[in-house]
Structure 1
Amino acid sequence: MIEDVDAGNVTAGTKSNSGGVNLYQNKAIVLIPTPSPDPKDPLNLPAWHKYLMIFLVGVYSAFAVLGTSGLGAVYPEVMKMYKPEEAIRATDLMTYPTLFMGLGNLFSMPLSVAIGRRPVFLASLVLLLASSIWCACSGNNLSSHIGGRNIFSMAAGQSEALAPLIVEEIHFLHERSAKLSWFVGVQTVGTAVMFIATTALVPVWGLKWWYGIIAIVTGVLLILSVLFMVETKYDRPVDADGGLVQLKFDEQGNLDSEGKQNFLYQVTTKQTHVLQPEIFGPRTWRYDLRVFHFKPDWKATVVFYKETLQCLIIPNVFWLLCLNGAFLGLYVYQASTFAQLLMPPPHLFTSMELGYVQLVQIADCMILIPVLGYGADFLVKSMSRWRDGIFKPEYRLLPIAFPAICAIISAVLYGRGAQDLLSWHWMTIVGPYHLGYFAFIGCNVISIAYCIDSFPRKAGPLLLVVCAGRGFISFGLSYSTVPAIKSLGYDGAMNILAIISGVLLAVLVPAYLTGQYFRNLFAKKVFKEESSVH
């Protein structure tokens, strides 16, 4: 609700001279960014609608991930479709998707700024549907299959950057990690369940119907998204990111930048937020069903690419990019090889048993949600209270040590188990595989929350740097791992990844200590802002 607040008495939400933002006011959490009285503000969506949107982007991401990495569980079956001389080239079905997911982000994220999130998301579903049908009809033509999967992966790329951006834009600072974890949870459970279906379906029905099911589900998601995936891009005052907004109204009560009446507007968790459709207009079904809500701003795409390059040189962001790329590269390679290691002697896993192995990722999800979702938000709020209510984005970095340690353990054990199958138990393959997945997902959730909290106005470019950039890094790592294994063995190659992960983990300490300095430096010198919002 709009409340005339005494500016002299209000500190919550305003920037502190320590580079943070006050998250608490009278023992209540300040809603950051400040929700507008406008019913069309996506922050004002009812809880059921927000959870439905999380479900939609989560299921979309689940089938996007399934389509790009699901062949690892049935790779021996896939190889039967092609001639022996095509075996080496067939590995492109597994390695190229991460590269093309990154390329998809390079095109889609600037478009989402120019024309809005909704049309880009709907277009991605249409492309995903078309490319699924393409792959289903490719038959034994390897070139056609690779081409269809590359296009599929470009459409699936929005699961990495656009999907979490949508989730972020409908939630507040103090709940971002938890809601991002719900998104990842839906994605993980969906992918794990479909992996089991994949191991049962492909040997009997073939890849044609596997892609066919993906196409059917994508078609249903497209219909539901047309109805419920509303536009989340919203133009709000800059000071909303600090939790205290100055609104101006004319004498008739209309919002007016040149108005005579000034209001300091703040909302906390203990206030009743009142909407004002009489001033801003109501949210209607007709409004929600519109595909385009903004006049295309093509110049914004140029600015977007410029800001992406600027974000790339922020030390903490570049570090998180390397961390995400290393962990994704580790997981992609493990996902590509675990079936080849477990199916032959001495372990002799069946396709169905590989599906049950994949089901354990649901356990990853059950750990991820409370520990790295609610746990991270709880840590942020606790540290903010401890520091006199002041929140700093660097608080988000501390939990990243846990997934980093998991990545190191995963790489070392997987290398040992893969190098000497006779001496090591099959759990030395399965356990590290899931640990590597947990490391990547955990690092992903923390990185997204930190980047958005650091520069809320640069969320799109930051997500492009971290989410698209990691795809290129992981492609290079996973693609070079094959020749590395031939020369160094599984243990040698995995040791290199473990060393890389360990070095990146050591950077956590300087990243935490220098984060505020670099945020303020880049805000003033590069982005030409007064200071970092937080």
Structure 2
Amino acid sequence: MDKTEAVQVEIASQSDVVKGARQKQVVGNLKLLDGGQTILVPTPSPDPKDPLNLPPWRKWAVLILVSAYGCTAVVLASGLGPIFSIVSASYPGQTARANDLLTYPALFMGIGNLIAMPLALSIGRRPVFLASILLLVAGGIWCACSKSLGSHIAGRDIMSLAAGQSEALAPMIVQEIFFLHERGRKLAWFIFIECVAQGIFFVVSTYMTSAWGWRWWYGFFTIFNAIILALSLVFVTETLFDRPEDASTGAVELEFNEKGDLETGGEIHKIVRVTTAHGVVLEPERFGPRTWRHDLRIFSAKPRWVEFLECYKHIGQGFCVPSMFWLLLMNGSFLGLYIFEASTFAGVLLSPPYSFSFNSLGYVQAGQVLSCLIFLPVLGYGSDWVVRVMSRRNGGNFKPEYRLLPLWIPAVVCVVCAIIYGQSAAHPKEWHWSAPVVAYNASFFAFLGANVVGITYAVESFPLRAAPLLVILCAGRGFISFGLAYATLPSIQAIGYDGATLVEGIIAGVLALMTVPVYLLGPRIRAFGQKRFAMGSSKEAEEQ
């Protein structure tokens, strides 16, 4: 046996070992670091039309546009609180029913996720995203021109169907154009841009409504959404892309000859993973170049209607995986506290002894900007840093549970703020006005933290089931927040501000403490999902 044959036998032997290890590997566990380089997960293909191969400026354009859409969607669906007193004054004698303007949007946002996400799997992300913005524009016009409270409520419900995609579809688009090692900070940028803009709009909203009336509040955001729609038609390309199963774990390998060039059929000298140093070589002559004509198509993928029903099946299976069900409850509990405070802070601050002016409420909401400024480096870049450090300590191997480690920060903040807000709202004469204001905005920070941890952990635990798992988290917490919104007033009447927030703080704290067993048992839970529901395999693999 000559030297060349010996090298080929050794490479073949190594390849067999790798393949065998892959077959036994628990879904979610993967090799992330190769020496000093980061392995690209998922592995980009040589096709220039692969969304992972978009130039950086184009990825940022997509991220900014989906963030802008998410901002206006959330403000329109959930940001009526600061101006609600002016809106309800337009419907004298119907104050109780006017509350439906605040409560029902959360329910319809959840329903919107249940409809839109299966559609996005079937016909692609781009048509569903564009249709959502168009529906948001139509809903804004409806609300602005409504002639009765019933019509106003119906318009907000339709509008909220479109707004729901800001919670699941928008982050899915973001995570599909970035690699695993950068998802934490890129999702944090998505949330940061969205929430900073929200804070600015909350300040502007009170002045805008005072000067123009609430109908032009809808008018302003409708015009803004029309601009987002026009820009998205040009820049937000389709992010649905079929790639082999081993590419989703970064297991694709490059073959090099002795000269260090990519080998396409000759003598192989070494095999390496696709890393930040050894990226793929694009092959436009084989796959065709990326063109504006391709990107401007509304439908880039052939409809796969079977995926629509499969998504509901996978949603049901996801509920049966303990870690995913825990994520839903934890996200719901953190959101529940924030919903309680968002629904009550105006009444607390407008009343004596705080006696805030109406326009000052917008500045209270603007405190969310500061929350985002802390959130981005701590839980965005910090999450990716923790993943890299822990993976290096684990021989370069990544586990999704590393994403759970920074959760202790929002957990502590959530519980502490629940107590402070409840006490300051129940006994305002004993507390400075800053207590409810800081607690309210810090609770928003805590929810953002639970949100980004939930999204990244779910997607990276079962990457081939990202869409249905995002539906569980986002639609599920939408239904939870709808129930909590209706329970706010009865709970205050029954046990007071302090009692209600204490109960919610205890629930959130207990669920946060469950992070410890989930971290320890996470690999076994993922193995259960892989074995019982084939959650680590593609549809084709399931059928074999």
Q: In structure 2, which of residues 100, 124, 127 is the aligned counterpart of residue 92 of structure 1? A: 100
1:179 aligns with 2:181: no
After superposition, the C-alpha distances for 1:360-419 in whole angstroms (9 at most, x for unaligned) are 111111111101111000000100000111100011111112112211112111111111
Is residue 390 from structure 1 mapped to residue 397 from structure 2 by the alignment?
yes
- 2:467 aligns to what? 460
1:266 and 1:246, CA in 2 relative to 1: closer, same or farther beyond 3 A?
closer
Match of 2:126 in 1: 118
Q: Name the structure 2 match of 1:130.
A: 138
> Percent identity, aligned pairs only?
49
Name 2:508's counterpart in structure 1. 501
* Change in 2 beyond 3 A, CA 1:398/1:43: same
Does 1:333 find its partner at 2:337?
no
Distance across 2 between alignment mates of 1:394 and 1:116: 30
Between 1:344-353 and 1:381-390, the stretch displaced more is 344-353
Whole-Å separation in 2 of the counterparts to 1:272 and 1:301:
34
Alignment match, 1:252: none
Residue pair 2:51, 2:239 contacting (<8 A) in 1 also: yes
Q: How does 1:49-448 map to 2 (within 5 A)?
A: 49-83=58-92, 85-139=93-147, 141-245=148-252, 266-448=273-455
Residue type at the aligned position of 1:35: P
Distance 1:493 1:88 in 2: 22
Question: Alpha-carbon deviation of 1:18?
Answer: 6.8
> What SS does structure 2 have at the residue aligned with 1:287?
helix
What is the alpha-carbon root mean square deviation over aligned residues? 2.4
Which residue does 2:489 correspond to in 1? 482
* Paired residue type of 2:58: H
SS in 1 for 2:105: helix
Secondary structure of 1:351's aligned partner: coil
Contact kept, 8 Å, 1:103 with 1:154, in 2: the verdict is yes
Displacement of 1:342: 1.0
How many angstroms apart in 2 are the aligned matches of 1:343 and 1:239? 57
Structure 2 distance, partners of 1:158, 1:327, is: 20
CA contact (8 A) 1:76 1:340 kept: no
1:28 aligned partner: 37
Aligned 8 A contact 2:379 2:406 in 1: yes
Closer/same/farther in 2, CA of residues 261 and 494 from structure 1, 3 Å limit:
farther
User: What TM-score, normalized by structure 1, do the two folds share?
Assistant: 0.93
Determine the C-alpha separation between the residues in 2 that align with 1:165 and 1:66.
20
Distance (Å, rounded) in 2 between the aligned partners of 1:293 and 1:379: 37
Distance across 2 between alignment mates of 1:422 and 1:78 = 30
Corresponding letter in the other structure for 2:76: G
Task: Please report how far the alpha carbon of residue 351 of structure 1 lies from its aligned counterpart in structure 2 after TM superposition.
Answer: 2.5
1:444 to 1:529, Cα distance in 2 relative to 1, 3 A: closer
Shift of 1:162: 0.1
Number of equivalenced pairs: 517
SS, match of residue 411 in structure 1: helix
- 3-state secondary structure, aligned to 1:360: helix
Q: Which moved more, 1:336-345 or 1:438-447?
A: 336-345
How far off is 1:261 after superposition?
Answer: 12
- The one-letter amino acid of 2:62's match is M
Distance 2:513 2:183 in 1: 26
Runs of 4+ in 1 over 4 A off after TM superposition: 4-18, 259-265, 528-531
Q: CA offsets, 1:204-228, max 9 Å, x none?
A: 2111110000100000000000000
Partner AA of 1:177 in structure 2: G
SS of residue matched to 2:450: helix
Structure 2 distance, partners of 1:213, 1:332, is 25
The answer on whether the counterparts of 1:72 and 1:337 sit within 8 Å (CA) in structure 2 is: no
- Give the TM-score normalised by structure 2: 0.91
Counterpart AA for 1:49: R
Give the Å deviation of 1:445. Answer: 0.6
On the 8 A contact 2:41/2:247 being kept in 1, the answer is: yes
* Whole-angstrom distance in 2 between the partners of 1:274 and 1:518: 37
Q: Which residue of 1 aligns with 2:3?
A: none
Q: 1:304–1:359: structure 2 CA closer, same or farther, 3 Å change rule? A: same
